Every structure is written in C-alpha cells, then in structure tokens.
Copies of this chain bind each other. A is one copy, B any other.
Amino acid sequence: MLGTGMVGRTIAARLEELGHEVRTGSRGSGDYAEAAEHGELVFNCTAGAGAVDAVTEAAAGLEGKVLVDVSNPLRFGGDGPPTLFTGIDDSLGEQVQRAVPGARVVKALNTVNADVMVHPEIVPGEHVLFVCGEDADAKAVVTELLGGFGWPAERVVDAGGISGARATEAYLLIWLKMMGWVGGAHFNIAVQREG
C-alpha cells in the first residue's frame, strides 16, 4: 500500500480483515519502495499531487505487478472551482502508467468515498464502479479483488484502456456536485436503463 491517508488506511484495514498481509509505505520515509517490493499487488492511494513521485520511487518493486491506482488529480483552492491538474487531455492514471511502464496499472475505486470503496453495501441499489487499464488480465484480477470488497462483477464497468481514467477522474467534478446535493459522501451512482 502506497499512501497512509484515509483511503490507504481504509483499504489496508479491509484487506487485512479479508486475510491479506499488507505492507504500507508513506512519503518521506523511503519505504514506498519496500512496500512495493513486498506486495503481490500494489495500491497507489497517495495524494494525487504526489502519485507520480511515489510510484517512481517504488518503480523497481512494481515491475510486472498489478498496480491499482486510486489517486485523483483534484486541485482545490485558487479563485475558481476545483479543477484537475492534469487537464482534460491527460489523466493521473496515464501519468502513473507512463512513470512505471513495467507495471500493469488499473485505475479503480477513485469514484467513491473510502467507506463505500470497501463496504459498498452501505449504499443501496445497483450502484457501479469503473475500471480501466491496458491489461485485461490485470483488470480481471482487480475485478475479483473488488468482489471481495462486496462489488459484484456485473456492477464493475469496464471503461477501456488507461485513457479511460480521463473520464473517471473528470467525473470527480460532478461527484462533488452530487456530494453537495446529498449532503454527505456516502453515495454512488446507479446506471438506470430503458426497460
């Protein structure tokens, strides 16, 4: 686990509850590399602005591994509304994949609050997650892992290659609007279709 913020701690705790052994690395202590080396599968849950540095530091330990990128490029502050520091023609998922070309990056879980990530049953209905990445096998591994968290595979939307992260990260802007409307972060979207 790269990152010791709320998201990293929440996912790490859930993984341990499910019987996995977790090694966590945090910024500044030089242990991103050790955490990555340790893992069969690695999560990037660092703050968006530090994501590329974190995975670069951990690159040797990420070679050939599935790297689940949960980070988001949201930037708050300034005069205007929140924005994406990647712009719209790039994404943090792609930046992470470019930084560690030997890793099999799957963007996932970044569209919901940390509690919903690991306990989707707190939100009723057929609400969905998105995964994207270049490696179909890696997406299948992640989809199975998400199943362990409580996400049925039929509620995991395949958003294509890693450039799909442009869509799932830009979604955060409207997620923030819905959060304001709901008055909290324990929500998600369901896709309703013509019957």
Q: Which A residues form the contact surface with B (CB < 8 A)? A: 80-81, 83-84, 87-89, 122-125, 127, 130, 157-160, 163-164, 166-168, 170-171, 173-174, 176-178, 180-182, 184, 186-195
Contact = CB atoms under 8 A, between A and B. Distances in A.
Given A157-B178, A173-B170, A193 B189 contact: no
Given A173-B170, A184-B193, A88 B81 contact: no
A91 B125 CA distance: 32
Report copies per complex: 2
Contacts of A184: 193-194
A190 B193 contact: no
A88 B73 CA distance: 12
A187 B192 contact: yes
Contact of A164 (B166, B167, B177, B191): B177
A190 B190 contact: yes
